[in-house]
Amino acid sequence: MNVRIYAAGVALAISSTAAAQPAANAPAAAPPPAQQRGEPVNETTAALLSIGGTTGSWLVILGATRLDDQSPRGRELLGLGLIGALAGPSFGHWYAHSTFTRGLGLRLAGAAAEALTLVLVAKICEDDCTLPPFVTGLSLAGAGLYLWGTVDDMVTAPRAARRYNERLHDVALAPLAHPGGGGLAIVGRF
Protein backbone atom coordinates (compact mmCIF):
# COMPACT_ATOMS: atom_id res chain seq x y z
CA MET A 1 0.00 0.00 0.00
CA ASN A 2 2.76 2.48 0.96
CA VAL A 3 4.68 1.54 -2.19
CA ARG A 4 1.71 2.56 -4.34
CA ILE A 5 1.39 5.95 -2.61
CA TYR A 6 5.13 6.53 -2.96
CA ALA A 7 5.03 5.52 -6.66
CA ALA A 8 2.05 7.80 -7.30
CA GLY A 9 3.85 10.70 -5.59
CA VAL A 10 6.99 10.17 -7.69
CA ALA A 11 4.93 9.91 -10.88
CA LEU A 12 3.08 13.11 -10.00
CA ALA A 13 6.34 14.95 -9.24
CA ILE A 14 7.92 13.82 -12.51
CA SER A 15 4.86 14.72 -14.60
CA SER A 16 4.49 18.19 -13.06
CA THR A 17 8.21 18.85 -13.55
CA ALA A 18 7.98 17.74 -17.15
CA ALA A 19 4.88 19.84 -17.73
CA ALA A 20 6.63 22.89 -16.33
CA GLN A 21 9.46 22.68 -18.88
CA PRO A 22 9.01 25.13 -21.78
CA ALA A 23 8.72 23.83 -25.29
CA ALA A 24 11.72 24.31 -27.56
CA ASN A 25 9.81 26.69 -29.82
CA ALA A 26 7.84 28.51 -27.09
CA PRO A 27 8.17 32.31 -27.07
CA ALA A 28 10.08 33.90 -24.22
CA ALA A 29 8.02 35.17 -21.31
CA ALA A 30 7.37 38.90 -21.14
CA PRO A 31 9.41 40.81 -18.57
CA PRO A 32 7.56 41.72 -15.38
CA PRO A 33 6.04 45.20 -15.25
CA ALA A 34 8.01 47.95 -13.52
CA GLN A 35 5.40 48.37 -10.79
CA GLN A 36 3.39 45.35 -9.81
CA ARG A 37 -0.30 46.09 -9.98
CA GLY A 38 -1.87 45.18 -6.72
CA GLU A 39 0.74 46.65 -4.41
CA PRO A 40 -0.73 48.99 -1.79
CA VAL A 41 -0.04 52.70 -2.10
CA ASN A 42 0.75 55.08 0.73
CA GLU A 43 -1.79 57.78 1.61
CA THR A 44 0.90 60.18 2.84
CA THR A 45 2.89 59.74 -0.36
CA ALA A 46 -0.24 60.50 -2.41
CA ALA A 47 -0.84 63.70 -0.44
CA LEU A 48 2.80 64.77 -0.67
CA LEU A 49 2.89 64.16 -4.42
CA SER A 50 -0.17 66.35 -4.96
CA ILE A 51 1.05 69.11 -2.65
CA GLY A 52 4.64 68.92 -3.92
CA GLY A 53 3.59 68.91 -7.58
CA THR A 54 1.45 71.97 -7.02
CA THR A 55 3.99 73.87 -4.93
CA GLY A 56 6.87 73.07 -7.26
CA SER A 57 4.91 74.19 -10.31
CA TRP A 58 3.95 77.51 -8.76
CA LEU A 59 7.54 78.09 -7.67
CA VAL A 60 8.65 77.55 -11.27
CA ILE A 61 6.01 80.06 -12.43
CA LEU A 62 7.19 82.56 -9.83
CA GLY A 63 10.82 82.06 -10.89
CA ALA A 64 9.92 82.47 -14.55
CA THR A 65 8.18 85.78 -13.89
CA ARG A 66 11.35 87.10 -12.27
CA LEU A 67 13.33 86.48 -15.46
CA ASP A 68 13.39 88.85 -18.41
CA ASP A 69 10.11 88.61 -20.33
CA GLN A 70 11.92 88.35 -23.66
CA SER A 71 14.30 85.55 -22.68
CA PRO A 72 13.49 82.17 -24.24
CA ARG A 73 14.38 80.46 -20.98
CA GLY A 74 11.81 82.52 -19.09
CA ARG A 75 9.08 81.60 -21.56
CA GLU A 76 10.05 77.93 -21.44
CA LEU A 77 10.01 77.92 -17.65
CA LEU A 78 6.67 79.71 -17.60
CA GLY A 79 5.17 77.15 -20.00
CA LEU A 80 6.58 74.28 -17.96
CA GLY A 81 5.23 75.81 -14.76
CA LEU A 82 1.77 76.33 -16.26
CA ILE A 83 1.60 72.72 -17.46
CA GLY A 84 2.82 71.57 -14.06
CA ALA A 85 0.23 73.71 -12.26
CA LEU A 86 -2.47 72.06 -14.35
CA ALA A 87 -1.21 68.50 -13.82
CA GLY A 88 0.69 68.72 -10.49
CA PRO A 89 -2.28 68.50 -8.11
CA SER A 90 -3.28 65.20 -9.76
CA PHE A 91 0.11 63.51 -9.14
CA GLY A 92 -1.14 61.88 -5.93
CA HIS A 93 -4.23 60.56 -7.68
CA TRP A 94 -2.16 59.16 -10.53
CA TYR A 95 0.06 57.45 -7.95
CA ALA A 96 -3.13 55.89 -6.53
CA HIS A 97 -4.11 54.64 -10.04
CA SER A 98 -6.90 57.20 -10.49
CA THR A 99 -6.52 58.72 -13.95
CA PHE A 100 -9.03 61.55 -14.45
CA THR A 101 -10.05 63.40 -11.30
CA ARG A 102 -12.79 65.84 -10.49
CA GLY A 103 -10.12 68.42 -9.63
CA LEU A 104 -8.45 68.04 -13.02
CA GLY A 105 -11.82 68.57 -14.72
CA LEU A 106 -12.41 71.71 -12.67
CA ARG A 107 -8.94 73.04 -13.50
CA LEU A 108 -9.48 72.36 -17.21
CA ALA A 109 -12.83 74.20 -17.08
CA GLY A 110 -11.20 77.10 -15.24
CA ALA A 111 -8.33 77.26 -17.74
CA ALA A 112 -10.83 77.24 -20.62
CA ALA A 113 -12.74 80.13 -19.01
CA GLU A 114 -9.51 82.08 -18.58
CA ALA A 115 -8.49 81.42 -22.20
CA LEU A 116 -11.89 82.66 -23.37
CA THR A 117 -11.45 85.74 -21.17
CA LEU A 118 -8.10 86.49 -22.82
CA VAL A 119 -9.63 86.19 -26.27
CA LEU A 120 -12.50 88.50 -25.30
CA VAL A 121 -10.16 91.04 -23.71
CA ALA A 122 -7.96 91.06 -26.82
CA LYS A 123 -11.02 91.57 -29.02
CA ILE A 124 -12.61 94.26 -26.82
CA CYS A 125 -9.37 96.14 -26.17
CA GLU A 126 -8.64 96.71 -29.87
CA ASP A 127 -10.55 100.00 -29.74
CA ASP A 128 -11.59 100.81 -26.19
CA CYS A 129 -10.55 98.75 -23.18
CA THR A 130 -13.75 99.12 -21.16
CA LEU A 131 -14.60 95.58 -20.17
CA PRO A 132 -18.22 94.56 -19.73
CA PRO A 133 -19.07 92.97 -16.36
CA PHE A 134 -19.58 89.48 -17.85
CA VAL A 135 -15.91 89.34 -18.93
CA THR A 136 -14.79 90.14 -15.39
CA GLY A 137 -17.28 87.58 -14.04
CA LEU A 138 -16.01 84.95 -16.48
CA SER A 139 -12.43 85.58 -15.37
CA LEU A 140 -13.37 85.33 -11.68
CA ALA A 141 -15.36 82.15 -12.31
CA GLY A 142 -12.43 80.62 -14.18
CA ALA A 143 -10.00 81.48 -11.40
CA GLY A 144 -12.43 80.09 -8.82
CA LEU A 145 -12.84 76.81 -10.71
CA TYR A 146 -9.07 76.49 -11.09
CA LEU A 147 -8.46 77.10 -7.39
CA TRP A 148 -11.27 74.74 -6.39
CA GLY A 149 -9.88 71.98 -8.61
CA THR A 150 -6.38 72.46 -7.21
CA VAL A 151 -7.49 72.27 -3.58
CA ASP A 152 -9.86 69.38 -4.32
CA ASP A 153 -7.10 67.20 -5.78
CA MET A 154 -4.68 67.96 -2.94
CA VAL A 155 -7.28 67.21 -0.26
CA THR A 156 -8.70 64.05 -1.85
CA ALA A 157 -5.40 62.38 -2.84
CA PRO A 158 -5.15 60.37 0.44
CA ARG A 159 -8.75 59.21 -0.02
CA ALA A 160 -7.92 57.98 -3.54
CA ALA A 161 -5.01 55.96 -2.11
CA ARG A 162 -7.28 54.55 0.61
CA ARG A 163 -9.92 53.52 -1.97
CA TYR A 164 -7.27 51.82 -4.09
CA ASN A 165 -5.94 49.91 -1.09
CA GLU A 166 -9.47 48.83 -0.10
CA ARG A 167 -9.97 47.34 -3.56
CA LEU A 168 -6.83 45.26 -3.01
CA HIS A 169 -8.42 43.42 -0.10
CA ASP A 170 -10.86 41.87 -2.57
CA VAL A 171 -8.00 40.30 -4.57
CA ALA A 172 -6.17 37.08 -3.67
CA LEU A 173 -3.79 34.57 -5.20
CA ALA A 174 -4.99 30.98 -5.49
CA PRO A 175 -3.22 27.85 -6.68
CA LEU A 176 -4.29 26.67 -10.11
CA ALA A 177 -3.93 23.12 -11.38
CA HIS A 178 -4.95 21.86 -14.80
CA PRO A 179 -3.89 18.99 -17.06
CA GLY A 180 -1.24 21.06 -18.88
CA GLY A 181 0.49 22.31 -15.72
CA GLY A 182 -0.27 24.64 -12.89
CA GLY A 183 0.40 28.03 -11.47
CA LEU A 184 -1.25 30.86 -9.60
CA ALA A 185 -4.47 32.67 -10.40
CA ILE A 186 -5.59 36.09 -9.27
CA VAL A 187 -9.15 35.98 -8.02
CA GLY A 188 -11.32 38.71 -6.63
CA ARG A 189 -14.18 41.13 -7.07
CA PHE A 190 -13.78 43.98 -9.53
The answer to whether 89 touches 53, Cβ cutoff 8 Å, is yes
Across the strands, what pairs with 181? 178
| Phi, psi dihedrals of residue 126, rounded to the nearest 5° | -65, -40
pTM (2 decimals)?
0.67
Confidence grade of residue 61 (pLDDT, cut at 50, 70, 90): very high
Can you tell me the mean pLDDT for 99-121? Answer: 95
Task: Please give the pLDDT value at position 23.
Answer: 52
Q: Give the model confidence (pLDDT) of 148-174 as tens digits.
A: 999 999 999 999 999 999 887 666 666
Confidence grade of residue 52 (pLDDT, cut at 50, 70, 90): very high
pLDDT at 2 over 70: no
CA 153, 157, 161 angle in degrees (round to 5)? 150
In the 8-state DSSP scheme, what is residue 184?
A: E
Task: Please give the pLDDT value at position 1.
Answer: 46
% residues pLDDT > 70 (the chain): 72
Q: Which of 42, 154, 143, 163 has the alpha carbon at shortest distance from 87? A: 154
Task: Please give the pLDDT value at position 18.
Answer: 46
